[in-house]
Amino acid sequence: MSGGVMQALQLLAGLSFLIVLHEFGHYFFARLFKTRVEKFYLFFDFLFPFSGVLNFSLFKKTKGDTEYGLGWFPLGGYVKISGMVDESMDKEALALPPQEWEYRSKKPYQRLFIMLGGIIMNVLIAILLYVVIFSVWGEEYLAMDHVKYGIAVDSIGRSIGLQSGDMIKAIDEKPITRFNEIPLAIIMHKENGTISVTRAGKDTTIKIPFGTINKIIKADRNSFISLRMPTMIDSIKPNSVAEKANLKAGDSVVAVNDAPVHFWDEVNIVLKSNPGTPIKLSYMRAGQLDSATVTVPKDSMLGTYYHKFQKYYDYTKIKYNPITAIGRGCSYTLSRLQIYVAQFKLFGSKEVKVNESMGGFYSMGKMYAPEFDWYAFLMMTAFISVALAFMNLLPIPGLDGGYVIFLLFELISGKKVSEKVMEKATTVGLVILLALMVYVNGLDILRIFHIKL
């Protein structure tokens, strides 16, 4: 199974799981306050947002007064709560006198909880997933004090002013204690931000150039900074240039074209600068110096793999019991929410180009690992749950946050917003959401075919 298919399947599984639980949050509070729920659907059984177009289900079953089903249009899900202006836009039902089991007959605070139910559930699910992750796998990180060889940077890192071998000490004068904090800290830097490094034994300060944020986001990676790795070979890819040159696991490359090298980033610079060119690789094998001449492939990949980072770096491992994992799960969820909010604010930055920073389902799928791993899958699904909680809280009619704004107005003023106003606002909001979805997924299509706007 290809990496792309695996990423798509993980996205489908993760989103379906989160959508069902989000809608269950609304369902739970509706039932708690004795409000009738007419439908509970994963995906839409109509052409969203046009509730009267192409109405059919892939599966449905009625239990009690609720129809449970699987829609054909894979873009979210919904619960249809009696007496509520929602995606279904059931104006006929709303034209009748309110009934005691309807949403519109409930007290404002009850309606508020019904609307916040999905968001509350997304936050709780994120906490639960993080609790499971920390209970089972614990937490592992590399302290900056243990980054003994310094960092390795690619062309983007060099454009910022960094060099391989630099020891990063602080960003915007805030000390960096963990290696994995670096990419995000640079992306979230302040205006006229700085990076403090130790280079060749001397402390220096680098001013982060304008445009760095967009450059990193556009490249769709945070690997512009990585760990320096010694040039020992862990394994060889079959039928690769390295195998044909008789390189073997355990060999250590010591020179390229007779120029000494100690780390793979030094080797990679030569490879990327000489595609299609023969080069001389000198290497040590069992204490003996040998060499081979290889022609650098167009992709600059020899087919050599290096050891895991843990072979050369001392990682800190924190273990949690079920009780301490709860505390860590809560604090980690809060930190992920703060990070997402901060990233969302970047859209107002002069540095960030919206059309290069936003993406749809393709971009979301690329966030998952190409090979399935429970740890990576749960971590990403938990983060998406946090993101969904925040996005649904935005004050846009059609989203939960839009309803919440109207309810808060009612609670403060004592005046209920008319259903006609709600209908018009919801219609506008749904059209805006549809346009946004078309836009971001259209950007993904352009990216797939390498078409620039």
Domain boundaries, the chain: 3-133+381-448, 144-227, 233-306
Pair of tokens at residue 272: 């990327």
For the entire predicted model, the pTM comes to 0.88
pLDDT at site 367? 87
Q: Which CATH class is domain 233-306?
A: mainly beta
**Residues sharing a CB contact under 8 Å with residue 437, sequence separation 6 or more, in sequence order:** 75, 360
- Catalogue the E-assigned strands of 97-251: 139-141, 151-153, 167-171, 174-175, 194-199, 202-207, 225-227, 233-236
Sequential DSSP letters for 370-421: SS--HHHHHHHHHHHHHHHHHHHTSS-BTBHHHHHHHHHHHHHHS-PPPHHH
Q: Which residues of the chain have pLDDT under 70?
A: 1, 86-95, 220-222, 450, 452-453
Give pLDDT tens digits for 394-403.
998 888 998 8
pLDDT of residue 389: 95
CA–CA distance, 247 with 159 (Å, rounded to integer): 33
Write down the pLDDT at residue 91.
60
Tell me which CATH code domain 144-227 carries: 2.30.42
Q: Per-residue pLDDT tens for 71-97?
A: 999 888 999 999 887 665 556 666 677
